[in-house]
Structure 1
Amino acid sequence: MRVFACLLAAIVAFVASPALAWGDYGHRTIAAIAMENVTPRTRAEIRKLLHAAPELVTPECPVQSLEDASVWPDCVRRESWRWGYTFPWHYQNISICKPFDIKANCLYGNCVSAQIDRHERLLADRRLSAEQRLRSLMFVTHLVGDLHQPLHVGENGDLGGNRVKADYGIAPDLNLHRIWDGPEAERAISSASPPLVRRYSAGEKARLATGSVTDWARESWQVSRDFLYPAAFGKLPCDGPEAGHVVWTDAAIEKAIPIVDERIERAGIRLAKMLDAALD
């Protein structure tokens, strides 16, 4: 029993660690995929923009690589007095119980899909300062990742699963969103074969780098509607109140792995294509 208790405590600490969140491990993986698959010119332009990092005046959130850039928008949220206006940019709550609508919950462009389009244009604008373009590089890199996390788009009045208490197998006291941000993503990425971070073939890129920002959002919404919520609740919870507590079972964990891997791959390859369009 003592060994079991120690193991359980280790698992809880493991899945609760913010270092494993899609906001860190997953985002860094997406950025690494992109960096492996951009053109040499784009890679050189990214490194040139990174030289402007000291001008950001965010010493608690250093940026020396595209992987660092991918987590910078989450890091600076600690200074809410300075960066609070960016909080709505990370998600777009679109109901899984209504027809998909890309304009939903995006007042004045304050949502993830609109901000990807905006920052892509700013990144490509060579009239702007290097510091301004670096900020847009970081937001594009981060927000493309956020858009591919299903619970950053599809939800059921529960803030993308944040209000749904959930156990991850035998690890208790999480919520549904946190499970998909953290332990589910970490397990999928670390067990992928072949590794997700690699140079992809032309055929793979053609298969993965498809669609528009609206299409990417719709994909995440569909994963939430067709798989994630039914797997968590045993049905699509549109006809009544959600259960206050669910268990993300071992079967759900295993079924989610290929879905997560594809979302991460698509985000990385699509980000590479977007960066090439803006910088090469």
Structure 2
Amino acid sequence: MDKDIKRLSLILLMAPFALWILLLIIIPHVGIFLLSLREKISYKEFTYGLGNYIEFLNEPIYWNTLLRTGSMSLLVTILALLIGFPVAYYIAKVARKKSKGALFLLCLLPLWVSELIRTFGWILLLRETGVVSGFLQTIGIIDQPVEFLYNDVTVIMGLVYTVMLFMIVPLVSTLDGMDDAMVEAGYNLGGSGFTVLRRIIIPYAMPGIVAGSIVVFMLAAGSYLTPILLGGKNSSWFTEQIYDQFITRYNWESGAAFGFLLLAFTSIVVWLGLRLTGQSLATTVAKD
């Protein structure tokens, strides 16, 4: 009787989550894949094949944009890790318990504002008549207004700012469980600061590093507003190609193919990252 009650309780608890996964993830992705296989013959007449994927391969601008998006997303991930790791270590191991909550709150503040508002904030700062250009003119570094927008550097800055929290949180969670005695033992055995970092801290934090990198990379590769608004016409992002197929050309079949290719590409990159680091989803994202 008790086993039946526990089983029923587990089913009732898991049912909403399973339903959410089914309705919002599995079914939409299956639908996108099937839609991507449709080829238009004439008005309201379709057949199934790989024509949309062949069109992608035959057009260099499409797969070049995908590769460019992937490489820049990797750069965003690396920069977010380099900036976020010291912040996470300070919060987890250096800051006092009373100040940890305040520091986390500072990290959460950007998420209180929508991505659109945050992006327009960057525009106000970096445009030709913006705060940065005006300040540099005031102190005499430049003689005339300078446009800092619409380039890859600005896009990367905006994306790093947007995804930074998703790198810091898993790192803090992992580093918080590290015993301080491990670091002390490293120093007592004659290790330098760099040696302790390389041999003790980083290996222990590797699950958090991989988990944060996966989330940051996926968010950066799938971002739309930040690359479009900050990069303008000078920065091509693959999500713009997907939007163009769906909305501008009203070619839902190609748009679905492009969306599925982006998912497949990012999944392959994540899989390669897990293989290179010797980690798995069970020890990173799903770590207890």
TM-score normalised by length of structure 1: 0.29
If you compute each CA radius of gyration, which structure gives the higher value, 1 or 2? 2
Instruction: With a CA cutoff of 8 Å and minimum separation of 6, indicate the structure with the bigger relative contact order.
Output: 1
- TM-score where L is the length of structure 2: 0.28
Question: Which of the two has greater helix per residue?
Answer: 2
